[in-house]
Chain A
């Protein structure tokens, strides 16, 4: 009477096939989720290319790519946080804060108690600024992972704190002229490097590509990546499997801070100054890119590839709307609608998928029962 477990070949075979079907369909599904964003991207490009001759020009594509890169780099950090089931609202402020810190380092640091002012060299400035971004992220991470505070609240608070500190550092003045540096102070070359276009592509785009590759490897090839997906899907089970959930959680906010800091430096080079409102709303664009790219806000699902495509969807859409002359007010309405549409389609698709697989399972169970009844009439009771 152990027919259900040690199944002989005939009833077991269809069930096994069924399972395989589910598995391969799941892969199809992930492909569709990302493919959908890609299809949206193609549609957007075609529509705007038809509507305007200026859309697909080399000059405009360079502009778009730069804008996409800024968003995509922030979004890569956001992806890690969202994979964990968290959220990082502070990244836009970290962008501004990093630029303000870097700008002030170019202006020189007054040594307290003396008349001396120290001028760090270019690369010291860059490293210190990135470290500041990571530090802010680390504080986020500690509060969230160690004290178990809600990521939404902690990073919302940090959004205000970092933005406020940016304004304190800038004190109402943009930093522009000092960024060029002085040969005597060994801090020149900022624009030459960070606003450069190696092989015709803006540096920001190169950084995006390199970070995308690194993050892709990080997520798919390292224990950290596996741990991140595991904690995002089921933190309790991951913890019992020996995953250092607190360390993972802390590290993702540090990396998110680092990504924002990189954008802070690049954006400062791009607009040639450190301003108090640099990076405002970047967090929202980043979240949108991650979500359009097929990630689940509840954690555990999402890819680097999808996130990059998501950033391109937003970038191409925003730029196209400007080029064809849609008013800025309607631009916001359309962008928002696209984000909601992307998530809604994702959700509907998953519901349909679930119903279908349930229906299939019922059908196969019925078939198995029928075949069992026809092959042997001796199933119940021992």
Chain B
């Protein structure tokens, strides 16, 4: 490792420097009034892994969409092999050798591996029928290259998630991808599957494939990186060779202003238990798989409890079951003294508990309604006087709440979609607060929000907590878990693993408890020993 670093130090002339295959010049992207990318310059090199770091909403995903032809840039130019290109569509990008593998796998699970690999660009015989023999042959060749023994005729639904990902990679390779973009490829993988994936990536590098890799698992991503690129608030803030940097550098570049909010010194005078989760188990309705396993947890009045865990740890499932969307298959949930297990969502909101969901666009906003009508929706019945909505009361409530949670808007009649992500989230939180809840549940409340708005949202939650509100929220950002909670509980594989006091806990302790790829920690320890 260290000898390689020495070679790379003279990076101008290093022989193993890959040639630049794809270049983004001054790429900017605007959505409505939101500027997702503000003039980014970026290079992808042959046979190298370029890792993109950045918090949610920093602009990584937007850049990936532009590189893969999903979106067109508002300004700037892409240069492929020295020639300016305009990617008209994803098909156009694939034809030019750029493929993307999304976080959510894009496979038809009822079709075979072979059919999935050739979907949309089937090989034809002279008569126009599909040449299954040829497709099968190529599938087998690609699988051999990836050193995976997956039969072309296996149905995708019979594969494990890790193998499904390999199928996605195989699809890109079968399309002769020279540039492969991977968006959070490890988020659903087990530690061993990650090892397999990394082996495949090294294999691809050796064949000269350029890889662009996005991940929230910083250490893991550093392990595979050749180049690190850091995004913050739509700007590319740093580019460096991976050999020259460490985790601390990445975090510093990424957050820059993590200390912008720190609520560790907030007073801790808690009241009675507001929410008592007792042995709650949740099974997936379709498969019966247990996703939340015997979870017990109390949240007191005025207390902010953070559940930290990775995607797939069962956090969202727990939150949705508490809110009433999914059935609780075992255990009890007490809101004060009331068992709410059999109540509907509406009854739970009336009883004093509401959820701010993870996916704001899908579950949080009514896109066709105004800011005001979104804000008043859960508490609408409280403004009803003899069958009719008392509009004056409704509007006053909404105006007060807009001021209270500090939504930046031109007024309550503005379209909800005209707001920035952070302000939309304030509306979603504000609408639950308007129901006068005793407990508020938040699932990734700062997802896709810039740093300033994050601080405002936590300031709001701590202010409400001081008035007695019990807060239970889920996050996958360690920094947030430490700086914005009274108590921190790590969740992994459906279970609560360990509880921490955020005033004393360290990043490493928390990540280790969450089972974030123990193999990596050995690696880091080994590296430390070398130095």
Interface residues of A (CB under 8 A from B): 1-2, 4-6, 15-16, 18-20, 22-23, 26, 217, 221-223, 226-227, 229-230, 232-234, 236-244, 300-301, 357-358, 361-362, 364-366, 369, 380-382
Contact = CB atoms under 8 A, between A and B. Distances in A.
A4 B450 contact: yes
Contact of A364 (B33, B362, B378, B391): B33
Interface stretch (B97-105, B379-387, B496-504): B379-387
Interface stretch (B217-225, B266-274, B350-358): B350-358
Contacts of A15: 33
B349 A381 contact: no
Contact of A223 (B32, B345, B380, B409): B380
A133 B332 CA distance: 43
B260 interface: yes
Interface SS of chain A? helix
B235 A233 contact: no
Given A19-B414, A234-B366, A236-B362, A241 B378 contact: yes
B377 interface: yes
Contacts of A217: 388
A365 B37 CA distance: 11
Contacts of A230: 366, 369, 373, 377
Given A237-B362, A357-B32, A382-B256, 20 more contacts: A1-B257, A2-B451, A5-B453, A6-B452, A15-B33, A22-B414, A23-B413, A221-B388, A223-B384, A233-B369, A240-B323, A240-B325, A242-B435, A243-B377, A244-B346, A358-B30, A361-B30, A362-B75, A369-B35, A381-B237
A1 B452 CA distance: 9
B365 interface: yes
A240 B357 contact: yes
Given A226-B377, A234-B367, A382-B257, A241 B33 contact: no
Interface in B260-281: 260
A371 B172 CA distance: 43
Contacts of A234: 362, 365-368
B366 A237 contact: yes
Contacts of B453: 5
B431 interface: yes
Contacts of A358: 30, 32
B87 to A, nearest CB: 18
A241 B415 CA distance: 18
B397 interface: no
Interface in B418-459: 418-419, 422, 431, 435, 450-453, 456
B260 to A, nearest CB: 7
Interface residues of B, number: 60
B414 A240 contact: no
Contacts of A243: 346, 377
Nearest to B417: A22
Contacts of A18: 33
Contacts of B233: 4
Contacts of B235: 380
B364 A240 contact: yes
A65 B163 CA distance: 66
Contacts of B366: 229-230, 233-234, 237-238, 241, 300
11 contacts: A19-B418, A23-B418, A226-B377, A232-B368, A237-B364, A238-B366, A240-B355, A241-B349, A358-B30, A361-B33, A362-B30
A232 B419 CA distance: 21
A239 B325 contact: yes
B409 A301 contact: no
Given A2-B260, A26-B415, A222-B389, A236 B363 contact: yes
Nearest to A217: B388
A362 B74 contact: yes
Contact of A380 (B237, B367, B408): B237
A244 B388 CA distance: 17
A2 B373 contact: no
B53 to A, nearest CB: 16
A5 B422 contact: yes
B377 A241 contact: yes
B410 interface: yes
Nearest to A366: B75
Contacts of B364: 237, 240
A2 B367 CA distance: 28
B144 interface: no
A221 B410 contact: no
Given A22-B418, A223-B381, A230-B377, A242 B365 contact: no
Nearest to A2: B452
Given A233-B366, A362-B30, A221 B389 contact: yes
Kindly list the 6 A-B residue pairs having the minimum CB-CB distance in the complex, ordered from nearest: A5-B452, A233-B368, A242-B349, A242-B346, A300-B368, A2-B452
Interface string B368-405: 11000100011011001001110100000000000000
A217 B31 CA distance: 36
A18 B456 CA distance: 24
Nearest to A16: B410
Contacts of B241: none
A122 to B, nearest CB: 30
B378 A369 contact: no
B410 A20 contact: yes
B264 to A, nearest CB: 20
A250 B35 CA distance: 42
Given A23-B418, A242-B350, A382-B256, A237 B363 contact: yes
B466 interface: no
A180 B429 CA distance: 62
Contacts of B456: 5
A242 B237 CA distance: 42
Nearest to B348: A242
B154 interface: no
